Structures are given as structure tokens and as C-alpha cells.
Structure 1
């Protein structure tokens, strides 16, 4: 054999050895007889079939080996686990069944941990999410690092826990606390988990595995009690109190989430455990957790989950190639409510913020707006009073443009544009800003390509439209020119994501996605009012459909004023009198006439390539328009309804009412192929 052949063979053998050792789950035995089982699936240690099979294999081995006294379950790479890989649910939804998915049976697996002959302690560092957290509940004790975070977000994916979480958590911390935990939008800290009874101690970062090994050995030696969560009753409320808690929870779920069934199913499953015992509850939980994955609600919520992530990705721009620059100082030009809202959003994320106004009176006005916003955040417990005081220290104001030179990013947020002053202001900002600073306009009316701003600033200018109440709305619509520097794009998106925003990219064009959808919805409403549908009925129907009526604000073109000016859509261009026969519209008809034109406008936005995908429009409709997230967004919902039906109804109405109801497919035949290509399943 030649030298090169030997080298190739050696390389192949080394590669095989590396593959053999690179398991998704690893186990090693310490000298004291404690077996440490660790999840090794970076970066988030998600639970897939390989991980679950590995856990089952190593637990079975550790429980039967004579030289193993106790077991510690832990993660790796600074995290325990982020739970089940949610793409598995997406796969099941596409297939329509989980028949070809080889799940590790939940109840036997959890019983192997909980009822096995060796004590098991979970060592939790970083995030313990969803099914991963449920798995630790079958352990006989749990220790968390000081940076640990705990969450079961199944409710927000349209499903319920599936590894016994509805049964073991109430037995560790009571039904009331468990319900609060399930409905929480933010993960619990280690301190919150300890106070509730979820974990048994907090250990300094980096030392939790060692502490867990000591605890596991002490349980084995009988120095510490051996607790099985599913059998505990000492922390569960009394029978009567438990039933009352569940009754109140059921009433609240019906009131707060009238269109959702999985919160009620979750409560029913918890009640099963109270009435018949933890094992019976776990069996019912497993049944429903599988069944709920394929419901329309779960499909809609998971679609939004994935869409939120996909819309913020910029093709060709990654952290692997470039590193975003850190921004420490931002400036906002504009002394109205919108400017104050944007400035508040920056302050909440600890950015030094300068606000610019034309005179001292206007400056005091915007600072007053900002302080009121901070007080509102304190009242809503978004921040503490002490934190609010610190944020005020990051705010400064000026009437001099030159004071903005230090800013890494400057936002023009003038609500009005008297005598075309906006472009003049942008030119001034371009002249006074430092090299590589980023210039942003919050207006949807500015045509970026037409701005007479010299290079290099022209490659650093963006349209970044914050929603009203920018500090508590996630959505930001972002547009930029083809010549915009990739580094600047990365910087802007990194900043927005660090502020917990969802930046959605759109093509530079007059009007934004949310504005266009909102405008058509408002016109639909006007049409219905014009033909005699009561305003109150419209409001109730939209609310019952699930629209966020606090977020949904119709374009304040005064409806009554418009009607008084005879802006009508019926044939003859005249308002219907009370003596004319009004059409008999069912509630479903009214809702369709409100929303189908919005679907039509969404397709126009797609056809004009203002939005890069249907997901962009869905996220804008959910976060900006108030469309219910459990319906997946306006276009996802339209696909569920059926595009043929929607366009046939639009065609029917366009013959009865003038103008905007005519469907895209009739107005632009070239769009027909594009629509059918993007939505083939239902057309």
C-alpha cells in the first residue's frame, strides 16, 4: 500500500472514530458512581428523535448497571435544552399525521426516569424550555444555575405539554402557580422557579453539575428524601380548592380566548389528574398533545412562529461574513407623539438618546411625552421605578443640529411635512452626521432613491417605519436602496433585533404594507356602513373574529364626515336612504366583505413585489393590523378559506359595488399565474 493510500485510510478511520464519539447524547461515569448524562446537540440542544433515543438508551444502561449509584441529567454549551425541535411539528402538519415519526413513548420514558432504581437529579444551566423542562420534572430533584431560565411555551404554539407537565408541575408548585406559568409570555428566572417550588436550589454558574452529583449521591445514601413528582400531594391544593381554581381558569380562558380550544383542553387534562390521579392525567395529556398538532390553530400559530424568523433574514448578509457594529448613541428629530414613542423605544433598551426640536417649547413637549411613556411602562410593570429613573438619565435634548453629530443612528420622525421640509431636514442631517452613521426616515412618503443626498450617506440611508406606540409594538417595516452597504443593513437589523423588534423588509415604494392593508380595511368598513350595516355590529364581528381592537385603528379619515360628503360605493353614487331595501347580510357575509378585499390588496402587494413573500405580509397583518396570530396572518388564513372562493366573491361584489372590490386576477391577468404559483394547494 502506498503512503498516500495509508494516509487516506488513516483519515477515513479517524473520521469514523470522530463520528462514533459525536453522539447527540453522551454519558460518563464518575469515580463516586454518579453517571452524568448530557445532551450534546448544539447550539440549542433541541430534542429530536436522535436525542430522545440517545437519552432512552443511556438511562436504560445507567439504571441497570451495578456500578452506577445515581444519575445526573444535564445539557451542554451553556444551555440545558430549548425543547422539542419545532420543525418536527411542521413536518407532521405537512404530512397530516405523525404515523411515520418515531416518537419515544412519553409515559414509559418518563417512568424510566421517575420510577427507576437510581435517583436522578437535573443540573440546569441556561434555558430549560418546553418538553426539556418537562423531562426534568420526572427527576427526583432539580438544581438551577443563577442564569437559568424556565418556560413551557406550548400555549403559544396551539398545543399543550406532552411529557406530563400538566401533572407534575401542579404537584411541585400547585395548580394556581402552574396555570400562571403556562400563560406567561416571559421565561421564569431561577429565583422565580425556586420560590414556586419548581427547582430545589440555585447554584453558581459553572458549578451546577458538581452540586447535582453531590445531591444525587446524598439521595442514594438516604441523606436527602427521594421524591417522585407524580406521586406528591403535599403541594397540591385541597380537592375543593383545586376544582374552584380550575373552574375560574376555565371561565377566564373562555373570556380571554373565546376562539381557542387548547387552553380549555389543558385545564380539562389538569382536572383529570386531580380527579383520577397523575398517571390518568398524563395518559389523557399524551393523547391530546398529539391530536392538537394538526389543528388549524396550531398550524396558524406555528406558521407565525416560523414567519417571524424568516422575514428578518436578509439574503446574502450573515454574521459569518460581517460583525454588526455596536451603537451606543441614537438621535430622534421630531417633537410629536411618534418621535417621543420612538425615543422611548431606544431608551427602554438602554441606548443614549438625543431628541431634537426646533425650539425650547417643542423640546420640553417631546421630553414630557417621553417621561409620560416611561411612567406608563412603569405602571404596566415593563420596568421598575428605579429602572425608569436610570433611563431618564440616558435622555438629552437639543435645538441644535450640530449636537447630533455623535449619534450612530439618526431618525427623522416628523409627523407633518410643512412645505416639503422633510427632505431639507434629511439633507441637513446628512451634512452634520459623522462618517458611517446611519440616517433613517420614519415616513412612508419619502422616496429614498430621489433624495439629493451625496455619497457616502446615500449608501447609509433607510426607511424604518415604527408602528404607533413604537415602544410596545414589535413590528418595524424597513426599506433600503440596492446600493445600500451590506454592513449598514446588518447594523440596522442587529440594532432592531436587540430591541426585540421584528424587522420586515419591503421594497422602496409609496405606502407601507400595514398602511395599505389598513386603508383597504377602512374602505371596506365604509362600504358596509354605506349600505346600512351598523358600525357597532362591524366592531363586534371583528372582535369576535379575534382582531386586536386596541391595535386595529382605522385610518382616521372621519367615516361619518366621508359619508356626509357622499363618498359611496353603491351604484348611482348615492347614499342609500332608509326607505330603500337594504341587503340581508349574515354575519359571515359582513366579515367576508371586510376581510376579502384586504386579501386582494395583500396579493397586489405580492404582485408588485413590495413584499418578498406571503410570510412578510402575514407578519405585518398580525403585528401591525391586529389580525389574530392563531389564524396565521391574512394570507395564511385566506389559503385555509380557499382562494377560489375568495376571488369568486370579490367578482360577485365588484358587479354590485363600485371600484376597489374588483379582484386582482380580473384587473391584471399577468398576476393570475403568479398567484396560482404561490398558492397552488387551494386554487
Structure 2
């Protein structure tokens, strides 16, 4: 006989229904059925005047049961269970001792009162699954706290603290003690008042001013959301709060929810959600490996990247020493950091007090000796092997025992850097993305010989810094930049074959990227790639010619595009287009036009092919890891799921055929399908069928 997931007990005239469905009290079918049964039983008991809904464990209710995802739903359905709670003739009070997320918060909203412990948190994260709340969240939350407060909470999908929930009137009380006892006291008060007040009947916060504020938020979201169907559905559902009776609003919400469940863009977002959960599991490292303590840090190099990394630590409340070789360099670096914080204050995203707190956590210093006491040292110096080896060789004699030594290298071989020390077990890569204080991605490079606890420490630290850390293996360019280089080579081939910079960029922005490869190169500085190619003995006829002309991008007013008077958006440059045509002629290429689909194929297929090689070599553990990297570091549109997920939607046999055609047309052997890609295509499988392997 299955165990009951909800236990019913009595404290005088108060019935206490306790949810116990480990590990996180997920709302599976058994819990839904037990919850409906217990509410009906207590509601019909004449000796019961009110009901307290409590839970055991670290969660009140953490949301839906993940094991039911993608399967036909089973009765009772959550909206029906919540209706039975809300329409109960006796007050139902939620005693929330942990997280109340998704359906868990919707359960609490259906109750007539809510008491929370100080450690509780609340959220509706469905937006991250490509969905919207589907059990009344879009209708009850705005009625309780106002649409202008509820909409951004649902749009972000991030949890809020108990204190924030109290300030929003989401909960009636926050206690630092026995939350069930406090809920029993509130239940008695509500019972004494007679018929309970239902959230669905509340309209006091749905004022004209509230609607005006919400509509302004909706307009801004419409402009910025692109192809995010869930954002548009959320707007429509919340708008119904003002225009429709509660029951009709629920029906609209449910119809929108079910439509999103079937939307392929939402399916892609669900893939992203689970892929981001999976990256925390590092193959080959057991759950028992604990991170080393990180109380303070040091960053070597106060340039744009080093200063940004130091800001990451300060923003997380971790003291950090920012180190340079000369006083003038460190002064410039600190001035740059101060200017960024000042801009945040001007924009209103940071208070002057917080700015001062964060600046106080950054200690400027001259000389590597200042890194002696740091628990982790991150080198962010010039991308040149000799420079990095010199720094790590010096740090080997300065850093304390057990300190992690990390390089922010974008391309270089980490074991070669580690060889400059006598402690390779402590050396790894931590590849931040520019601007480091903004970009979420962090590639944690795991070279052979590094200690497992060093890797675990870097991952834990990355999360503490607000990053999305992904473990990758050692290899030129690691994952992100290696695939980016494949796209860069594809861009060069397209330009020589007949496409123009604005056509290439338009194809990619139409796909969902915010910026095309040519505009991106202009923004970063074309000289950066030029310098890297020369150091490796590589050439790119078009890109090199643009740099040889001194056209380095936005900073010089010219690159692939023109930027008159400091414009941030480029214009077509007839001189660059003539230069490209001349290079095509010199190479004996007869230029032709390309359709948007052809351009996309020639840009994206080689990336997927390189991703397959990365998986073959074990540089990435899972296809989903590659997707997470490209979503968080390279602006791949989330609703397309990442390059490897996208490849599965296209079909690997189709990609193999297209790559073979491109290889035949260009004579470029790197375009021949990778063995893994070909094998999966032959077996009628996709990247989703691969199992994780150690990176």
C-alpha cells in the first residue's frame, strides 16, 4: 500500500495537514490526491474550525514533479486541488518553512492566510521552462500584491526572500521560530472572523495606477522579448486580471499554458532549464568532494578584464586584491572600476552606499607579493604564454599552500601554464567573459592533474559570483571560443564567396542573435583577432586586409562597417565591400548571392560539427554543456535551445548532407562531418541520445 504523502493531525479545533513527500515535496499525482482528500476530510469535520497546511523537510513544496514532465497529466489536476482549498468553508493557512516554488507557491496562494519562516523563499520560475504559471499563479498573485509587483516577479522567475514577501503582502507574517504554531494562531484568528477571505475575490490592489504601471512593463517586455512566446503569454494572462472575472482568467491562463507546453520554442527553453541544472554534476567527481574555503582573492592584472573580475568578487562580498606591476597601471584600473560603479549609481541600479561598500572590498596593490594570503589567485594578464608562465612561476613561490591558481586564458594550454609551478594539482583555468562583471558564463578548465577539490571549488565560487560555471576540458579555445572560431572562418568563406557583411549579420540577427559576427568583431576590436592569428601563423584575407587598413572597428570609426561620429550601430561601407570583391577576384572566386537560409547553414553547421569534435575529444561532457555555454556567453537565442539542441531539431542527417556539400564546394576538409556526427546520423539518433562523459 503506498505511503500517505499528507498526514492529518489535530491541535484542538485546528486540523494540521503535513506534507511529507521527500526529497522536496514535489506535486506528483499521489501528493495532489492526498492533498485533495485531506482538505475534503478536514473541511467536513464539524470539530475542525480551520486547517493549517504545513510540510516537513527543506521545502514547503518545490513545484511540479519532474518525473511527470512530458507525460499525460493524471487526475486530480492541480488547478482542481487548489480550487478545493480556496473554496473550503474553513480557513486554510499555509505554514511555509522552506521554498515555495511554482506549484508550491500556487498552493500557498490558494490558501486564506500565509505564515513564513525567516528562511523561506517564494517564486514562480515557470518562465524559465518556457511556460507560465498554470494553476492560477497569474491570476492570484496580482490580486494579492498588485500586477505591477507580480508581473516582474513572474517574468524574472527568480525567488524572493521571506522579508521581501512580507513587504509585498504576499505573506501575512514572518516568524523566527515555530512556523506551524504561528500558522495555528493565525488560523484561529481567521476562524473567529467567520467565512474566510479568498485571494480570488480581492481587487483592492488592482487600481488604475497599478494597471498603468503594468502596461508600461508589458510594453517594455514586448520590445525586448523577441521570440519568447512565454513572455507574451504572461502579459496576456496578467492583463486578464483587469479585464476578466476570476474563472475566465483562469481559463485563459490554462489555455495559454497548454499552448506553451506544445510550442517547440518552449520545449527548447525546458531543455535549457534542465541543461543548466545538469552542469553542476561534474562527471568523474563524487558528491563527497568538498570545495576549499575561499575567504579572500587576488586578481593579477588591472585591465578591463582583471578589473571586471575583481568587481565580481566585490559584488559577491568577497575581499579581493587587484594587482599590477606599476602604480600608474593600478591607478588606471581602479579609476576604471570606480567609473563603472559610478555609472551604475547614475542609472539607479546601485546605491551610493553599496558602491562604497564594494569599492572598499577591492584593495589595489603593486607587485605579486600582495597575493601571498589569497585563497585563490586569478591571473588576467596579456594573452601570451611567456607572460603567463612568468607570472605562475613567480606565484609558485608566493602563494600559500592550498591556494588555487587560476588563469583567465581564452585559448592557451593550461597544463603548459601549470608546468611553471610545482603544484599542478592547484592550477586550472577560469575563463571569464567580457565584460566580466556582466557576463554570466564561466568556463572552468579542468586540465589533467588538477585536484578534484580545486575543480569543485572553482564551480562553487563561480555560482557564488553569480556566474553559470561549466567544466570544460583543456584544448585550444576550450569550447566556446573554439566553436566561435569555426563560425569566424565560415564568415570569411561567405564574404569571399559573395555575401556582404550586412547580409551575414542580418541572417544571424534574424535567427535570434542580438548581433552578427561582423558587428561583433567591430565591437570587440578587429585587431584582437588579427593579433591572435599572426601569433599562430594563421591568415584571413578579408579580416586581415581590414586590419591592415587600420580599420579596427568601433574604436577607430571603421571596421566591417562605418561608425560616423562615434555611432554604436554600423552603416554599410562601400570601400570595405569593394575591398572584399577585390579579394574574391584575386582568389579567382566568382561571387554569387546567398539566401538567408544558405547563410545560416554555412555559419551554424560548422559550429555544430566542431561541437561534435569537442564531444568526441571529451572537451565537453555533454551536448547540453555546449548549449549552456553558447546561451550564456555568446548570445545564442534561448528559445532555440543552443547549437546542439538546434542541430537535433534540424536533423543530423540533414546536417551531414549540408556539410558534405559545403566541403565539396569550398575544398575545406574541416567541413567534412565529424565521425560522431556521422555515426549519430547513420543510427538515426541525436545529440540528446549521448551520455555524459568526463571533461
- TM-score tier (shorter): 0.7 to 0.9
Report the Cα offset of residue 456 of structure 1. Answer: 5.3
Q: How does 1:374-453 map to 2 (within 5 A)?
A: 374-379=341-346, 383-417=350-384, 420-451=386-417, 453=419
Cα RMSD for the two superposed structures: 3.3
The alignment status of 1:137 with 2:109, answered yes or no, reads yes
Any idea what the Cα deviations from partners look like across 1:233-279, whole Å, max 9, x if unmatched? Answer: 333236xx888777666644442223122333333334455444111
Match of 2:50 in 1: 70
Match of 1:306 in 2: 274
Q: 1:267 to 1:400 in 2, by over 3 A?
A: closer
Report the Cα offset of residue 462 of structure 1. Answer: 0.6
Equivalent residue for 2:461, pick from 492, 495, 514: 495
Equivalent residue for 2:304, pick from 316, 327, 337: 337
The alignment status of 1:208 with 2:197, answered yes or no, reads no
The alignment status of 1:662 with 2:634, answered yes or no, reads no
Q: 1:171 to 1:446 in 2, by over 3 A?
A: closer
Equivalent residue for 1:467, pick from 430, 433, 436: 433
Q: How does 1:202-241 map to 2 (within 5 A)?
A: 202-222=173-193, 226-237=196-207
Equivalent residue for 1:293, pick from 250, 258, 261: 261
Q: Is the contact made by 1:312 and 1:502 (CA closer than 8 Å) also made in structure 2? A: no
Report the Cα offset of residue 436 of structure 1. Answer: 1.3
Partner Cα distance (1:232, 1:120) in 2: 16
1:370 aligned counterpart, secondary structure: helix
Equivalent residue for 1:562, pick from 544, 560, 566: 544
Q: 1:215 to 1:202 in 2, by over 3 A?
A: closer
2:495 aligned counterpart, secondary structure: helix
Equivalent residue for 1:171, pick from 143, 162, 175: 143
Q: Is the contact made by 1:81 and 1:127 (CA closer than 8 Å) also made in structure 2? A: yes
Match of 1:12 in 2: none
Q: Is the contact made by 1:152 and 1:161 (CA closer than 8 Å) also made in structure 2? A: yes
Any idea what the Cα deviations from partners look like across 1:70-106, whole Å, max 9, x if unmatched? Answer: 01122333532221133432xx1xxxxx43x424223
Any idea what the Cα deviations from partners look like across 1:420-448, whole Å, max 9, x if unmatched? Answer: 22212111111211111111111144433
Match of 1:639 in 2: 648
Partner Cα distance (2:145, 2:451) in 1: 53
The alignment status of 1:29 with 2:10, answered yes or no, reads yes
2:60 aligned counterpart, secondary structure: coil
Q: 1:44 to 1:382 in 2, by over 3 A?
A: farther
Partner Cα distance (2:213, 2:417) in 1: 61
Report the Cα offset of residue 614 of structure 1. Answer: 0.9
User: Mind listing any 5+ residue stretches in structure 2 that lack a counterpart?
Assistant: 528-539, 550-575, 690-695
Worse-matched range after superposition: 131-140 or 189-198: 189-198
Q: Is the contact made by 2:680 and 2:686 (CA closer than 8 Å) also made in structure 1? A: no
Report the Cα offset of residue 61 of structure 1. Answer: 1.4
Partner Cα distance (1:269, 1:671) in 2: 42
Any idea what the Cα deviations from partners look like across 1:305-353, whole Å, max 9, x if unmatched? Answer: 111122232234344x343221112111113111111111112112221
Partner Cα distance (2:294, 2:212) in 1: 52
Q: 1:175 to 1:335 in 2, by over 3 A?
A: closer
User: Mind listing any 5+ residue stretches in structure 1 that lack a counterpart?
Assistant: 1-15, 93-97
Equivalent residue for 2:155, pick from 155, 177, 183: 183
Q: Is the contact made by 1:175 and 1:237 (CA closer than 8 Å) also made in structure 2? A: no
Q: Is the contact made by 1:344 and 1:373 (CA closer than 8 Å) also made in structure 2? A: no
Report the Cα offset of residue 626 of structure 1. Answer: 0.8
The alignment status of 1:263 with 2:231, answered yes or no, reads yes
Report the Cα offset of residue 529 of structure 1. Answer: 3.1
TM-score, normalising length: structure 2: 0.84
Q: Is the contact made by 2:326 and 2:366 (CA closer than 8 Å) also made in structure 1? A: yes
Worse-matched range after superposition: 602-611 or 459-468: 602-611
Number of residues paired by the alignment?
644
1:150 aligned counterpart, secondary structure: strand
Match of 1:282 in 2: 250
Match of 1:361 in 2: 328
Q: Is the contact made by 1:530 and 1:563 (CA closer than 8 Å) also made in structure 2? A: no
Match of 1:3 in 2: none
Any idea what the Cα deviations from partners look like across 1:505-535, whole Å, max 9, x if unmatched? Answer: 2221222211112222223233333344343
Report the Cα offset of residue 540 of structure 1. Answer: 3.4
Match of 1:622 in 2: 631
Q: Is the contact made by 1:607 and 1:674 (CA closer than 8 Å) also made in structure 2? A: no
Partner Cα distance (1:395, 1:682) in 2: 44
Q: Is the contact made by 1:341 and 1:373 (CA closer than 8 Å) also made in structure 2? A: no
Q: Is the contact made by 1:651 and 1:662 (CA closer than 8 Å) also made in structure 2? A: yes
Q: Is the contact made by 2:341 and 2:355 (CA closer than 8 Å) also made in structure 1? A: yes
Match of 1:4 in 2: none
Q: 1:380 to 1:677 in 2, by over 3 A?
A: farther
Q: Is the contact made by 1:531 and 1:582 (CA closer than 8 Å) also made in structure 2? A: yes
